[in-house]
Structure 1
């Protein structure tokens, strides 16, 4: 039995999700040619993940955004082997992707304590370098934060995502009757009675063309990559961004959202997904809901209504469709139940797949170790036959 409880809410003020840094490894120490002494290696620069760190804190603490490791010690008569320079560790939040100046990915930090070497210190002077020290590696890197949450809310502006998070958290985010209410990510935590916690990320609303970085485009979509599950939130009454744009029904909204995810990165469509149909307190909502469910069960019967470039290669398959009203609270408890159930089912599937893989590897290993002596025995008997 699933017990639902309260939800904690955290809003990120002055949210920063990317930072550019200059980093340099320490220079090596001088060698001692007459006695063959070697200088110490320069210190290295590491990026280390910390749970309680934010990119804003990093930027505030190090406004110059310049990090240089300590140089290696020179070789001298009292210490022919110079000591290594002290490493520099840069604290960053969990969920950081690190790229170089050319956009090449250096690595990712997905959990507390993860660390990546980003700039090596130079070698100390030795025979190989004619006892002259080498300079440390210097480079420009970019830290890009992609939120890590259990659930990511997906929806066009005014779908009611902020209202939904407000309802389940009893918090009061800025909500108004205009597009782009959410301009920066907000995180909520669902707290269940048995102390289970599920994090939910409410992200800036998508618009058509987001995959081309229109509106909040890539800022939104990159965060979605780092969620375990998607929760589509649509307005049963449909959506219209402005008087200059087309009105979209709830079904059209889902198709367009799916297309935006596909055009940005197809793998996003493979994530487990739920659908919350919001604003069920509106007149005729029940009739529209039944119509929407029929359309989702038989999508091919309605895709002729779309331009070809709007139709996704594959439509989303929702594990559950839950009618809700963030205004009245209708369906909210059921939604919390389904979110937890879906995450638990997905975790069980991942565990099962992992154990199957481990078992397969063990069998392959056993077969290999068994077949080797058998083949030697076969070779030996063959030789005896020849004799």
Structure 2
């Protein structure tokens, strides 16, 4: 998937169909002088329905179609026949899609399961035919109900990437490089900040044909939770990850401090993020000798309450299998506890 095709935010207009008119038909038959009312009900208007699809990873298919209209219900007929319902419109969305009312900002629903269907706007009810209104004093009502109008709404779809592991780090921390080494994803990699402008997803192949999904989120900078840089726009993608892999390069001036800034940004954005499992990866560690690694390990133990950490080098392929093992164990612990 190219970067330009990753669409995670889109505004749409949806409207359901109106209900069909009830029929005011009177029964006419040879030798039946007064057949009475037999007008049927109108059909309901079509719904606009959201449907989860695990094979979709982006909202790109909404980029060029922004209006969705369901069909109108048909009018009722004679012999109490009900009009056909209006055609429903199905909008397939990736798992992790959140729907908001664009005008009010209110969250309406979210879709998290494959095949899950949720009615976004309901079609109008069909009008009742005249046979409903027959009474002892009014044997031949010549009126019926009109159908009810449909609903319309301006909506915003936001995609929160559903991945098992989210990569958290400052720009240029080596996240894209790790993803390209550990998965078959092909993210854009360069030695400057904000190379990753869209989240990249990759499938990590593990032992015995098992796998898990890893997401490279664009780099956080200090102040991201207030909207500085690109951070705030992408922090929502980390909310869905069950495990967070913090990445700090070995040539950082202060590993403990950098980790603290990253953690603080997540906390300010959403305190619940701190409940997730965390692992610290010291990247580019092929430039460290054993003595420097030991010093850093001591710093982490003292400054971060013995946070679980690992030294890796994507380029030199150091610690990659060990990292996979640690992440797999953390993900399966998470599954057991939940």
Band the TM-score falls in, shorter-chain normalisation: 0.7 to 0.9
Distance 1:317 1:161 in 2: 23
Distance 1:202 1:176 in 2: 14
Distance 1:266 1:11 in 2: 33
Tell me which residue corresponds to 1:381.
Answer: none
Seen in structure 2, the aligned counterparts of structure 1 residues 324 and 100 have a Cα distance that, compared at 3 Å, is same
Contact kept, 8 Å, 2:16 with 2:46, in 1: the verdict is: yes
CA shift digits 1:96-151 (9 cap, x unpaired): 11111222111111121011111011111227996122110111111111100110
Tell me which residue corresponds to 1:349.
Answer: 337
Contact kept, 8 Å, 1:45 with 1:87, in 2: the verdict is: yes
Contact kept, 8 Å, 1:269 with 1:316, in 2: the verdict is: no
Tell me which residue corresponds to 1:51.
Answer: 54
Contact kept, 8 Å, 1:27 with 1:42, in 2: the verdict is: yes
Seen in structure 2, the aligned counterparts of structure 1 residues 56 and 236 have a Cα distance that, compared at 3 Å, is same
2:161 to 147, 154, 157: 147
Contact kept, 8 Å, 2:281 with 2:312, in 1: the verdict is: yes
Seen in structure 2, the aligned counterparts of structure 1 residues 333 and 111 have a Cα distance that, compared at 3 Å, is same
Tell me which residue corresponds to 2:17.
Answer: 26
Contact kept, 8 Å, 1:251 with 1:292, in 2: the verdict is: no
Aligned residues: 313
How far the C-alpha of 1:78 sits from its partner, in A, is 4.6
Contact kept, 8 Å, 1:11 with 1:185, in 2: the verdict is: no
| 1:275 lines up with 2:289 in the alignment | no
Tell me which residue corresponds to 1:231.
Answer: 245
Tell me which residue corresponds to 1:327.
Answer: 315
Tell me which residue corresponds to 1:245.
Answer: none
Moved more, 71-80 or 143-152: 71-80
Moved more, 334-343 or 33-42: 33-42
How far the C-alpha of 1:296 sits from its partner, in A, is 3.3
CA shift digits 1:126-180 (9 cap, x unpaired): 2799612211011111111110011000000111111111222366533222111
Contact kept, 8 Å, 2:59 with 2:93, in 1: the verdict is: no
How far the C-alpha of 1:32 sits from its partner, in A, is 2.1
1:42 to 28, 35, 45: 45
Tell me which residue corresponds to 2:98.
Answer: 97
Tell me which residue corresponds to 2:136.
Answer: none
1:193 to 203, 207, 211: 207
Q: What secondary structure does 2:153 align onto?
A: strand
Tell me which residue corresponds to 1:220.
Answer: 234
How far the C-alpha of 1:342 sits from its partner, in A, is 1.1
Moved more, 290-299 or 16-25: 290-299
How far the C-alpha of 1:290 sits from its partner, in A, is 3.5
RMSD over aligned Cα atoms? 2.3
Distance 2:333 2:170 in 1: 28
How far the C-alpha of 1:41 sits from its partner, in A, is 1.1
How far the C-alpha of 1:341 sits from its partner, in A, is 1.1
2:302 to 295, 298, 305: 298
Structure 1 stretches lacking a partner, 5+ long: 1-9, 239-247, 300-314, 351-387
Q: TM-score, normalised by structure 2?
A: 0.86
Seen in structure 2, the aligned counterparts of structure 1 residues 46 and 163 have a Cα distance that, compared at 3 Å, is same
How far the C-alpha of 1:212 sits from its partner, in A, is 1.0
CA shift digits 1:186-232 (9 cap, x unpaired): 11111123010111101111101110121122232100001111001
Distance 1:316 1:268 in 2: 18
How far the C-alpha of 1:261 sits from its partner, in A, is 0.3
Tell me which residue corresponds to 2:108.
Answer: 106
Q: What secondary structure does 1:220 align onto?
A: helix
Contact kept, 8 Å, 2:98 with 2:109, in 1: the verdict is: yes
Tell me which residue corresponds to 1:356.
Answer: none
Contact kept, 8 Å, 1:19 with 1:55, in 2: the verdict is: no
Q: What secondary structure does 2:158 align onto?
A: strand
Contact kept, 8 Å, 1:236 with 1:288, in 2: the verdict is: no
Seen in structure 2, the aligned counterparts of structure 1 residues 317 and 258 have a Cα distance that, compared at 3 Å, is farther
Distance 1:177 1:144 in 2: 30
Seen in structure 2, the aligned counterparts of structure 1 residues 180 and 57 have a Cα distance that, compared at 3 Å, is closer
How far the C-alpha of 1:262 sits from its partner, in A, is 0.1
Structure 2 stretches lacking a partner, 5+ long: 26-36, 134-142
Q: What secondary structure does 2:14 align onto?
A: strand
